Amino acid sequence: SDLQKQEERGELLQPLIFILLVLCSVLLYFKVSLMDPGFVKPEEEVKEGEDKGQGVVIPQIPGDIKLRRCGYCLVKQPMRARHCQLCQHCVRRYDHHCPWLENCVGERNHPLFIVYLSVQLVVLLWGGHVAWSGLYFEQSWEWLQHNIFLLVCFLLIFIFTIVVLLLLVSHLYLISCNTTTWEFMSHHRISYLRHSELENPFDQGIILNLWRFFC
């Protein structure tokens, strides 16, 4: 049959890989959306310098900066944690609250969030290539009627691709500097950054920053 011939020629391998990537993207979405991003538990007693990922850079932060209790949930916040009013929890190494995920991106799910964006970008680029290959341009109303759906799909894929690409690049840049979106946007409001002698006291070099984050 035609299906067997296509299988023998390897023509079914690419659609299968594409479907698996889409499935992987969906599973990653639900995983990142539903998992604990690093909520600070009320029963935890956090000591200064205990926050994961600070390493040898803690002595560079002024000693008069003390850990404070959250004014909302009353837990003792680790350094780099922030209270999210949408999640009603303090989140370790808080990056941002993602409205698409309906969850915070923090210490525990940030690496998976980057993996999700990467897989999503591959899916969008592949889908955009498929949509573009199906277009042949003619200056006629009849052509537009027959290709309007494919054209709209390509434009939507193009827009989403730009958004995901910019988001992924910006996050990789911040990770390489060992900073978060919250710290980058609100540097002047955060006491341990505002009073630090260094612009970013957590930066340990690109290689070590990436290693600590992903490994």
Q: Where are the alpha helices (DSSP H) in 83-140?
A: 110-133
For the chain, the domains span 2-37+97-214
Please identify which of the residues 24, 87, 98, 153 carries the catalytic annotation.
Answer: 98
pLDDT of residue 188: 86
Of 104, 52, 45, nearest to 77 by C-alpha is 45
Tokens of 33: 């959306």
Query: Do the beta carbons of residue 90 and residue 39 sit within 8 Å?
Result: yes
pLDDT tens for the 215 residues of the chain, in order: 555 555 555 567 888 899 999 999 999 999 999 999 999 987 665 444 444 444 434 444 555 556 678 888 888 888 899 999 999 999 999 999 999 999 999 999 999 999 999 999 999 999 988 877 766 666 666 766 777 787 888 889 999 999 999 999 999 999 999 999 999 999 888 888 887 778 888 999 999 999 999 98
Would you state the structure tokens that stand for residue 213, as one six-digit string? 């984050």
3-34 residue pLDDT tens? 555 555 556 788 889 999 999 999 999 999 99
Q: Closest Cα to residue 109, out of 163, 205, 30?
A: 30
List pLDDT tens digits, range 183-209.
Answer: 999 988 888 888 777 888 899 999 999
DSSP letter for each residue of 151-180 = HHHHHHHHHHHHHHHHHHHHHHHHHHTT--
Active site residue 98: yes
Give the C-alpha separation, 88 to 153, whole Å: 38
Q: Decide: pTM greater than 0.85.
A: no
Token pair belonging to 82: 């922030």
Closest CA to 78 of 41, 32, 34, 37: 41
